[in-house]
Structure 1
């Protein structure tokens, strides 16, 4: 007999959470019936593909970065609104939605980071380090949802939306700073930026894993 799955509590304490929730509720109330959560999930993934494509093609023309920036907005719209629309219409499919949404997110994030690594602004190994760190923290989030019933959508007052804003700002900076190495190294400013974020995510993974392990030991589970 399998163990019962704990009820999951969503924890979202990022800086923009309250205002973003209001905006998503407003948008959900105005979506036509033809717009479904599944279609929004597809739109979110499409946005990720557009981001990655824009970055990769910036090798040939820097103006492709504007396409990447547009892709972030499309990705936010689909990825953030799909669950909100399902909850607003009371048509949630908790297991299917959870599985498809996060599987699609993982694939979309891979496309975005690989595209960024194929651009002239970021080394591919640094981009893959960033992807690995993001997926590592995601794994912790999914495991914690299973073992302690907490699905944490934000860390250090930041969540996916704040991360997108940071990446949009980074992309705008590419027009100004260019791909040249800095600090006398072979790394660009964007290599340092993404590498630093990745290092923070790895540290967060270690810290949160330690905290969760101690909590499980305290409970005797």
Structure 2
């Protein structure tokens, strides 16, 4: 059974309209796998831009461009396959998740290499993100619902945040510590980590309650 896709992201509706407008304009020679590869390439470009951000504003603009390329490829690959009747849900799900994990790891390495924040922080953030993805996969197995966001924040909203960070770094390079030795980027990343930790714990509790109710119902 095809899973129900659920996206509660703040930008989900306008993004869907934009993607639907782009689909008919894609040349016939463009394939979903090409878009997947393009998305991963964009993530690597963004990682390179963030990694070199301290060297000049041009690198920050490269990060913004990479994020845009990543959005284009990652958001359109599966949509194009479904639009053309070429969808392979099982392979597509595995491919999409595998490429996403590589992209997030690349971004974490880029942020850690930048010298603009505590190097361990990006990897803590990525670990929590992977925990949320794992929780969503468990939820899919139990409910057949594929959540594309954690509450109001999905991958598109995260890309907007990352692009905003890159834009601010281009206009105003990161300053020194502002609180207990932490920079503004450190504090922002800690805030994101705390939000994801809360999302994981609250989501896990809700999923356990739902699973218990389903188990009780199946015994009747």
TM-score normalised per structure 1: 0.92
Which sits farther off after the overlay, 171-180 or 151-160? 171-180
SS at match of 1:118: helix
> Contact (CA 8 Å) 2:6, 2:145: kept in 1 or not?
yes
Task: Return the match for 2:169 from 166, 169, 174.
Answer: 174
RMSD after superposition: 1.5
Q: What are the residue-to-residue correspondences of 1:127-166 with 2, within 5 Å? A: 127-166=122-161
Task: Return the match for 1:126 from 116, 121, 124.
Answer: 121
User: Cα distance, 1:37 vs. partner?
Assistant: 0.5
User: Cα distance, 1:184 vs. partner?
Assistant: 3.6
Which sits farther off after the overlay, 87-96 or 121-130? 121-130
2:105 matched to which residue of 1?
110
User: Cα distance, 1:181 vs. partner?
Assistant: 3.2
Q: Deviations over 1:12-49 (max 9, x none)?
A: 12122122111111211111111110000000000000
Residue 24 (structure 1) aligned with residue 26 (structure 2)? no
User: Cα distance, 1:176 vs. partner?
Assistant: 4.5
1:219 matched to which residue of 2?
214
> Contact (CA 8 Å) 1:51, 1:72: kept in 2 or not?
yes
Where does the alignment leave 5 or more consecutive residues of structure 2 unmatched?
A: none
Distance 2:181 2:58 in 1: 24
Residue 97 (structure 1) aligned with residue 92 (structure 2)? yes
Residue 11 (structure 1) aligned with residue 6 (structure 2)? yes
> Contact (CA 8 Å) 2:56, 2:170: kept in 1 or not?
no
SS at match of 2:177: coil
Residue 53 (structure 1) aligned with residue 37 (structure 2)? no
Distance 1:146 1:154 in 2: 17
User: Cα distance, 1:156 vs. partner?
Assistant: 2.7
1:3 matched to which residue of 2?
none
User: Cα distance, 1:127 vs. partner?
Assistant: 1.0
1:35 matched to which residue of 2?
30
Where does the alignment leave 5 or more consecutive residues of structure 1 unmatched?
A: 1-5
Task: Return the match for 1:191 from 174, 186, 190.
Answer: 186
